[in-house]
Amino acid sequence: MITKPDIKTALPGPKAAAIIARDAKRVSTSYTREYPFVMAKGEGAVVEDVDGNVFLDCAAGIAVTGTGHSHPDVVKAIVDQAHQYLHMSGTDFYYEPQVALAEAIAGIVPIDGEVRSFFGNSGTEANEAALKLARYSTKRVNVIAFLGSFHGRTLGSLAATSSRAIQRRGFGPMMPGMFHAPYANCYRCPVGLKPETCQAECLGFVEEQILVHLVSPDEVAGILVEPIQGEGGYVVPAKVFHQRLRELTATHGMMLIMDEVQSGMGRTGKMFAAEHFGVKPDIVTIAKGIASGLPLSVTAARADVMNWPPGAHASTFGGNPLSCAAALETIKILQNGLMKNAETVGAHLVDRLLALKEKYPLIGDVRGKGLMVGAELVRDRVTKERATTERDRIVQEMFKRGVLILGAGRNALRFAPPLVITTAQIDTIVDIFEDALKIVK
Ligand SMILES: Cc1ncc(COP(=O)(O)O)c(C=O)c1O
């Protein structure tokens, strides 16, 4: 088991530099590459670049490779399926892996009663399907989402996304009927309260403003919410926030749509983050970690909600057989110990980060569940001025020392390693974070 990075060349090394130069000429300029890592191979939580440099992975391909890179059981399931057939399109034909996966999802997703699943290829598609389904089933058009949220980049999901203005700039007008409210960011409470004693007063913006001044509750199809905000900064709301959202949506016949694209599939130590809040949504969207790296998304819904007619919604590649086979194996692996590992190693990670917070004033807040952990960096703990350049510098310094890590929000670091990561590997990552803090503080 490799527990330490091994950086042998300058970064990028010569082979990486050559590939990056080719990329610069031919690949879309819209991608955000934080540093020059060029993947050659990976195993578990360890990745190697094309020059033979070995890194610890604290990003998991943006919270995707929960079972680790190329988990042998997942690879075998994919290869076995590939030998049978690669594609048949669940839109027009049947195949057993897709049925088996729908059954498995019905068994794990926190939705009350009977459950049906729609299959797509990406998180944004899962949310598109959820938005369409909410409109279709309620015969209402409006949706409420939250500031700081990320739901994807296709035009429907993009209307809900409000993480960074650059993601929307130049693409308007957005899909009409979308309203945004402040998210329950307890470190920066939008109404100045403390999470221990609050009753989710931030929802007053929805109840007293949006639903009073802007849109009638009986014209709102649903509320779309991340149980833990991912791209927005790994923000964990108070439990009462989600519980009150559930009450509010039930009272007005709105769909509660939980976007578990980043927080789902064991990442938080439970299969879905909604379970931490004791809430059962009507629709749950899933992608990223579900198939260990193969493209797959699921929009799971109450069966009485997902009763649209044939032809209403479909996708040629959605739920393709290879991804379904990978997902079935992924679910087994998560249940056979990985979720537990996420919980245990995640708790250790939080303890270690809290200890660093005692030493380094730059760390303003440490929060998270399982291995979905954020550290928000501030220049001043009282004013909470965002340490944006410092955060970016830390990401670079950690990369130089052999850790792949990404930021989240304007000034948080996200610790989202593969769920197979060991305590020893996490310790190395935290030690390297401390080395970076010493330079940047
Ligand atoms: C919560 C959430 N929803 C949706 C998406 C969009 O997923 P995709 O990039 O697969 O479309 C993301 C991606 O980061 C996400 O974090």
> Among residues 281, 316, 333, which one ends one of the domains?
333
Q: What is the radius of gyration, based on Cα positions, of the chain?
A: 21
Supply the range of the domain harboring residue 251.
72-333
- Distance between CA 328 and CA 97 in Å, rounded? 8
| Number of domains, the chain | 2
- Tell me: do 318 and 185 sit in the same domain: yes
- Tell me: do 218 and 312 sit in the same domain: yes
- Tell me: do 328 and 369 sit in the same domain: no
Q: Kindly report the protein residue whose alpha carbon is nearest to atom 8 of ligand 1.
A: 123
- Which residue, chain included where needed, has tokens 């490799």? 2
- Tell me: do 31 and 88 sit in the same domain: no
CATH of the domain at 252: 3.40.640.10
- Tell me: do 110 and 215 sit in the same domain: yes
pLDDT at position 196 is 85
pLDDT tens, residue by residue, 186-227:
999 999 998 888 999 999 999 999 999 999 999 999 999 999
CATH of the domain at 388: 3.90.1150.10
In a domain, 171, yes or no: yes
Q: Are 199 and 244 in contact (CB under 8 A)?
A: yes
- Pocket residue to mutate for ligand 1, from 31, 64, 124, 229, most atoms within 8 A of Cβ: 124
- Distance between CA 26 and CA 36 in Å, rounded? 16
Query: Using a 6 Å cutoff on CB, does residue 428 contact ligand 1?
Result: no
Q: Are 134 and 306 in contact (CB under 8 A)?
A: no
In a domain, 8, yes or no: no
Query: Using a 6 Å cutoff on CB, does residue 230 contact ligand 1?
Result: yes
pLDDT mean over 406-431? 98
- Distance between CA 142 and CA 161 in Å, rounded? 15
Q: Is the peptide bond before 190 cis (omega within 30 degrees of 0)?
A: no
Query: How close is the Cα of 244 to the center of ligand 1, in Å?
Result: 25
In a domain, 4, yes or no: no
In a domain, 6, yes or no: no
Q: Kindly report the protein residue whose alpha carbon is nearest to atom 16 of ligand 1.
A: 262
List, in order, residues 6 or more apart from 189 with CB less than 8 Å away: 195, 198, 202
- Tell me: do 18 and 110 sit in the same domain: no
pLDDT at position 187 is 97
- Tell me: do 25 and 116 sit in the same domain: no
pTM of the model: 0.98
Query: Using a 6 Å cutoff on CB, does residue 57 contact ligand 1?
Result: no
Residue 91 DSSP label = T
| Atom nearest to 288 CA in ligand 1 | 10
Residue 171: Cβ-neighbour burial (10 angstroms; 0-12, 13-18, 19+): exposed
- Tell me: do 364 and 349 sit in the same domain: yes
In a domain, 7, yes or no: no
- Tell me: do 18 and 122 sit in the same domain: no
C-alpha distances (whole Å) from 54 to each of 40, 174, 303, 404, 421 are 10, 43, 47, 10, 15
Beta bridge partners of 364: none
In a domain, 9, yes or no: no
> Among residues 271, 302, 333, which one ends one of the domains?
333
In a domain, 2, yes or no: no
Query: How close is the Cα of 109 to the center of ligand 1, in Å?
Result: 18
In a domain, 319, yes or no: yes
Instruction: Name the pLDDT band for 249 (thresholds 50, 70, 90).
Output: very high
- Tell me: do 196 and 62 sit in the same domain: no
pLDDT tens, residue by residue, 420-441:
999 999 999 999 999 999 999 7
- Tell me: do 80 and 37 sit in the same domain: no
| Atom nearest to 127 CA in ligand 1 | 4
156: Cα within 13 Å, side-chain hemisphere: 17
Orientation of helix 72-84 relative to helix 321-333, angle to 10°: 150
Query: Using a 6 Å cutoff on CB, does residue 299 contact ligand 1?
Result: no
> Among residues 315, 333, 351, which one ends one of the domains?
333
- Tell me: do 79 and 143 sit in the same domain: yes
List, in order, residues 6 or more apart from 176 with CB less than 8 Å away: 141, 159
Q: Are 425 and 3 in contact (CB under 8 A)?
A: yes
pLDDT tens, residue by residue, 28-43:
999 999 999 999 999 9
Query: Using a 6 Å cutoff on CB, does residue 128 contact ligand 1?
Result: no
